[in-house]
Structure 1
């Protein structure tokens, strides 16, 4: 493994990509989607957004409720099988398969910006 992408201007990244901490308030199965994903509602403090997130391999719905996640909130809306995904909940591949969601190590206010 190596780091493959060229360096970018850090100022441009922080200006262009807006990541916020949100709390998952609703988790539903999404059988209409081509991939195995959940329909999530994520509370960012001043607003709630929905997301289609591929966290089904490692998490049951009850495991996700109330958890804080790191989400990209300025990518626009993506329509997935009639569902408007309004933010991207971030995650990483786990060694055993599946996606592990990223979260702060301590609780912070919902809506806190990630830098």
Structure 2
């Protein structure tokens, strides 16, 4: 039962994470265009999506074998939080683009190669 739930979660993550990456790209576009109202609105959904995605990746690791560097991920998330608190939109964009997307792309790439346990 637990194994089946992990498989379903992993399959859902394969569908969801590319959409999350597209949302991050839209966020970066909003920021680069100075559209901070839409950027802040979308950021709420991105944060929720990141929370779910990271949990899904960690919880399904026994199936796919991809491991997140939790320390590095937490550093990136803390930096993102600090940028949000300081309304530093350029830093928000940079962290999402160069750190968070790397984590998500790493997972997607790993799983597309079929490197499952």
TM class by shorter-chain length?
Answer: under 0.3
TM-score (norm 1): 0.22
Question: Which one has more relative contact order, counting CA pairs under 8 Å at least 6 apart?
Answer: 2
TM-score (norm 2): 0.22
Structure richer in helix, relative to its length: 2
Structure richer in strand, relative to its length: 1
